[in-house]
Structure 1
Amino acid sequence: MFTRTTGLAGMATALGADQATKAVVSANSAALAGGVPVFPGFKLVFLRNDGVTFGLLGGVPWWALAALALAIVVWLAVLMARATDHLEALAYGLVIGGALGNVADRLRYGAVTDFLDFYVRDWHWPAFNLSDVAVVGGVLLLLLQQAWVARGHKHSS
């Protein structure tokens, strides 16, 4: 029971932080359109990505990507409900919250709002958002948790 609470807290935190930052970025879209340098190698931008990671599947109808993401969220929610320790539940919650943040954008705008732009000289990593950070962070936590268990450590329920 408490394990699910950890997962739900992770989900709510990821979704809330993502939506709050995207609201600020969207409200300042004109100022961010050309990019605002924060420090060397990083600037804030305003972009809408109609694809998925790295712009893949661009042009696929927004509703198809949203439906796919929601199907994955349902599957991950089942896994989160079955989680046996807090780290595992938190990891699933972060991935779910991140996915829901991008689904919310697809439902509102037909595309995902991206605003974090890291670069070296003229080479830019594809812009991303806090939903993407939550998904990647959640996957890394799942990998760490599995490695922890594989080394013979007990679950941390």
Structure 2
Amino acid sequence: MSKKRILTNISILLVLIANIGCDQISKNIVREKVDYYENISLISNYFTLTKVENDGAFLSLGSSLPETIKFILLSGIPLITLAFGVGYMFLRKNISLMSMIALSFAIGGGFGNIYDRIVHGSVTDFLHIDLGFIQTGIFNMADVSLVVGMALFFVQSFFNQRHSISQESKY
């Protein structure tokens, strides 16, 4: 393995660990310091902290499923998918750096939430944005990592498509 590949792998591993670490540290602080449904204003009422436990997926989808099915659908299958993603990142040779970073964010966020489901039985959510015309559900730093990862993929895809179109128009 080349030195460049080793450095890239170490960098990607650090991004992955940083995403998981940021998520888990923030959740641990919230679990210890914030009461359930307590509303703490961080920036007026635009950005607030409210601790809730989500035993489902996005916006509590699947929370009413039987426990075995919920575990398989919300922990087992995603864990296998994330493990495949990690393997893909480290074994694939022709993946761009931007794709590696995007995958690291998305996979780190996924692992953060899966860890919560397996260890705590639910995912701790605590961030809420209310800009009046735009309002989010309550989310956590793992969700932020997932969104950043997907946004990086879209940005890369957009620029790759524009570059491809401009290359085709030259001929």
Whether the TM-score (by the shorter chain) exceeds 0.5 is yes
Q: Note closer, same or farther for the CA distance 1:151–1:124 as it changes in structure 2 (3 Å cut).
A: closer
User: How many corresponding residue pairs?
Assistant: 152
Q: Note closer, same or farther for the CA distance 1:89–1:6 as it changes in structure 2 (3 Å cut).
A: farther
Runs of 4+ in 1 over 3 A off after TM superposition: none
Conserved in 2, the CA contact under 8 Å of 1:7 and 1:92? no
Instruction: Quote the sequence identity (%).
Output: 26
Q: Note closer, same or farther for the CA distance 1:53–1:97 as it changes in structure 2 (3 Å cut).
A: same
Could you tell me which runs of 5 or more consecutive residues in structure 2 were left unpaired when the two chains were aligned: 165-171
Could you tell me which runs of 5 or more consecutive residues in structure 1 were left unpaired when the two chains were aligned: none
2:75 — aligned with what? 66
Residue 75 (structure 1) aligned to one of 69, 74, 84: 84
**Is residue 112 of structure 1 aligned with residue 117 of structure 2?**
no
Conserved in 2, the CA contact under 8 Å of 1:3 and 1:85? no
Could you say which structure has the greater relative contact order, defined with CA pairs below 8 angstroms and 6 or more residues apart? 1
The two structures, once aligned, show a CA RMSD in angstroms of 2.2
Residue 23 (structure 1) aligned to one of 28, 46, 51: 28
Query: Normalized against structure 2, the TM-score is what?
Result: 0.79
For 1:85 and 1:6, locate their aligned partners in 2 and report how far apart those are by CA, in whole Å: 13
For 2:135 and 2:119, locate their aligned partners in 1 and report how far apart those are by CA, in whole Å: 27
Report deviation, 1:22: 0.4
Report deviation, 1:119: 2.0
Conserved in 2, the CA contact under 8 Å of 1:79 and 1:92? no
* Largest Rg, 1 or 2: 2
